[in-house]
Structure 1
């Protein structure tokens, strides 16, 4: 069954009160970070912190773990730690993905360990962008892609312009969606400007993105709201079904408010209603 992936609240694994923050979060997924937010000399402490979490939390909550890059020693240590301690997060987030081989090995390891973890790869390097087609077509157990704009900016040594970032987002979305993968937007790093967060969400949603990384709990509510179908969208979806299913319709084509509709519109309407049902199920 598909799952909501609108909001991913990123929390450092060393955060004080970690267990309480997980339970209280309204994000669809809580992303426990072992990578960028953890200093190199505290990586082992971060892993120990995850080991101290109540085991029931791994089953009751939608948790993701962002490991260090599997091409680095700390990434290998992260994987060994997870498997040795039988920690099975629902999602494994893999940073700096640059080849299908990395994800293929991870998929084989997870399968061998009997895990049900779904992988999300972060595309955040120029090499990863250039190899995105190979990555998505040859990787096992890949469920989606996440865009990482901060590392991209640091690699090219200047802040990516809005126009260039939109082009990158579009190309990444087209690639992922063409093979049925989810695609998740990069964080909004401005914690004070809600207008900027709103603009980023709306532009990503218009390109087919399913969700966005949140770097502060205050961003979660707006992300959840705007990545959920609006009442206007739901009303139109219902109208499309009612119109196309009418026994009086002579063909599979009809019109609503002057707009022609047909079978493809019914497919989109069905997806919107299915997403809304998941939103309702989560609330109950």
Structure 2
């Protein structure tokens, strides 16, 4: 089963620190498709153990929200990351997704997948690409990993890695490289959050770029961003109708829909539209 067969919508991913359990319900109220309980950047080093305790409490019962549950662990190449994985593997209930930060080798993802298989977990993995090396190895990751539901871009760390500003063209290039790799492997691409919380213009510009360049969703660090993300990542009725007509025509052989020859590339685009819808 590939990622686009999964029924869960993944347009908006809302980050919340694991140390703030009172905010967990905000994802559903804000309309986010996925809540990411964050054990990594949003948690200070001295609070990591507290964050894991809160996570264990959360996973002691079914997640009662309209949003799907994701957990961002620390890198598995660290002691904190290994402790995070131990907490997840011992939990009574599993999240839908595990976000793996700083992925720079396929083996990192394979290690997490093997551990999930060992405890018969259904959780899918979401590699977070945050460096030049992460971009380079992404095709290999997608070729060998079996549980990848999506790939997320980490714009802040990527900008630091390549030594550019957050609005640099280099980040646009990285985004396109990620979305292209995801398209080849039929995996969803999720854009980084907009860090300018009160700047609606910057948010709309980022969303337009993501939606127009192959991204299926976008992360958020504030609930106020969720509605705009969902609206941009949801095809309108006309686009859905076009996609259905393309799929029907593709089944019957060569055809022209709205002036475009229907081939496998167009059919793939139509399937992608319907997966978003």
Closer, same or farther in 2 for the Cα pair 1:160/1:195, shift >3 Å? closer
CA drift of 1:6 comes to 0.4
Whole-angstrom distance in 1 between the partners of 2:49 and 2:168: 38
Alpha-carbon shift at residue 60 of structure 1 (Å): 6.5
Partner of 2:276: 275
Residues 76 and 9 of structure 1: is their aligned pair in 2 closer, same or farther, counting only changes over 3 Å?
A: same
How many residues end up aligned between the 2 structures?
Answer: 270
Whether the 8 Å CA contact 2:11–2:218 is kept in 1: the answer is yes
The TM-score, its normalising length taken from structure 1, stands at 0.86
What is the aligned partner in structure 2 of residue 44 from structure 1? 49
- Cα distance in 1 for partners of 2:214, 2:77 equals 30
Find the aligned partners of 1:124 and 1:253 in 2 and give their Cα distance: 42
Question: 2:32 aligned with 1:31, yes or no?
Answer: no
Instruction: Report the RMSD for the aligned CA atoms in angstroms.
Output: 2.5
In 1, Cα distance between equivalents of 2:155 and 2:118: 33
Q: Deviations over 1:233-283 (max 9, x none)?
A: 2343456568x49x9xxx832353xx233244455334424532xxxxxxx
Shift in Å, 1:23: 4.4
* Selected match of 1:253 from 252, 255, 260: 255
User: How far apart are residue 83 of structure 1 and its match?
Assistant: 1.2
Q: Which runs of structure 2 are paired with 1:97-116 in the superposition (5 Å)?
A: 97-116=103-122
TM-score (norm 2): 0.88
Task: Describe the superposition over 1:111-155 as per-residue Cα deviations: whole angstroms up to 9, x where unpaired.
Answer: 011100000000102221232222222223222211101011222
Indicate yes or no: 2:75 matched with 1:69. Answer: yes
Query: Are the equivalent residues in 2 in contact too, given 1:13–1:32 (CA < 8 A)?
Result: yes
| Match status 1:155 vs 2:157 | no
The residue that corresponds to 1:282 in the other structure is: none
Aligned to 1:209: 215
Structure 1 residues 143, 26: CA separation in 2 closer, same or farther (over 3 Å shift)?
Answer: same
CA distance in 2, matches of 1:8, 1:76: 24
SS at match of 2:152: strand
Aligned match for 1:127, one of 133, 142, 147: 133
The question of 1:188 aligning with 2:190 is answered: no
| Residue aligning to 2:148 | 142
Matched residue, 1:164: 170
8 Å CA contact retained: 2:164, 2:170 = no
Structure 2, unaligned runs of 5 or more = none
Displaced runs of 4 or more, over 6 A: none
Instruction: List per-residue Cα deviations over 1:184-213 (Å, max 9, x = no partner).
Output: 101111112222212211211222111000
2:25 to 20, 33, 37: 20
